[in-house]
Structure 1
């Protein structure tokens, strides 16, 4: 699109004018301020509303193709109550929810998916939040909508389809190896009392309890002091984390922490 300078002497700077092609510095500044405010809102979990009419029309077409409200909710990650509200004439909808609904292809509904326990997926998303990884970043790599990930991370659903669980697991393997340090995400994780990757011995086991600071302070549960150099040496001999832990008389997670600390020291040298 070719942008042109506004020709009117009484020109009022605005983002709307900028979007129509104006290259006035004042309109560019108005657009810049709008985008800054929008990004700040998104980082805080605040989302703007849009006209629900396109989503309503799309939902009607899905229903005409024999979709149920439950299937629409599962495919989009949007709650059934929100879907029903739009179908009942609610005029506005959050932009991310509208995008999730509009992203469902028109056609026959898919067969009911295989489902698995959601505990592992919930813990993985929360652990990544402890490292500062946002749901937007996770969604970009998994292909799962931010809204759906937001529903999963609450832990209110006991099951999840296996395909989504596999996507979360695959991305978790990569993202759990480094920090992102988004302050709003880390603050939420801290306030919610979520646990990081190293707190879990078996993250998929619903009966597994996280290793917490409180637990380590109880008598007899103090974490042994392990020399990171010793861990690196044993790992170089081909020993696994479990084998190193057995030899040093510590927990496997302690070995993983020591190895990570050694890597950080080597990188800083």
Structure 2
């Protein structure tokens, strides 16, 4: 009787687990499905992009979610530095599916390729150590993501920028006596998917990251053009000898743009990207 009680209890537990028992002499089996086997959200350092950026906000010049309401003229800053941006052109909020940083509330900024810009309106003097960071989604090969120009409008001098080239590659470059760029290879990032991009410049050199991965470095380039200017998101001049330029106007969606006064480390870049997956 004791043995039968144990068997009955085991059968009940297995039934609750969805596993069927067979009678003696019969054949049986069960199936199981494992979902989210990579457990990406569970293994990420941060669950929200806002939390990942917040961990590094002390060294931020600004951190703009770009989730402002349609028609807004000001880009909210979540860095704690109180450095909002100024939208030029019509700010259009959208909720694309999927959206970058899907656990963060809010929308994305939708740009139609007609000189829409978010400007940091305080002039900066020759930033030589910095990081630029942004999430983007586009199907149009071309357009500036974030960069530095000498005027608040269309700039005559411009560098320190991330852009999409005519082949859908991500390019990060500075002018250091000559144009110095780093570029992705073999992947078209104008694929309608969300991607994160980071460019850094410091005494350690130039570095480009896409989707949390180190793409390329140039330890010999440690300075940019000695000029004062303004950080801009979404548009500014791209001309002259910059390689593979298609257009200066970005078309697509942008989210979480930031500029830092330090070079983000590979670990920080990876954590920021993982929070948005």
TM more than 0.5? no
Question: Normalising to structure 1: TM-score of the pair?
Answer: 0.20
The structure showing larger relative contact order (alpha-carbon pairs under 8 Å, at least 6 residues apart) is 2
- TM-score (normalizing by structure 2): 0.19
The structure richer in strand per residue is: 2
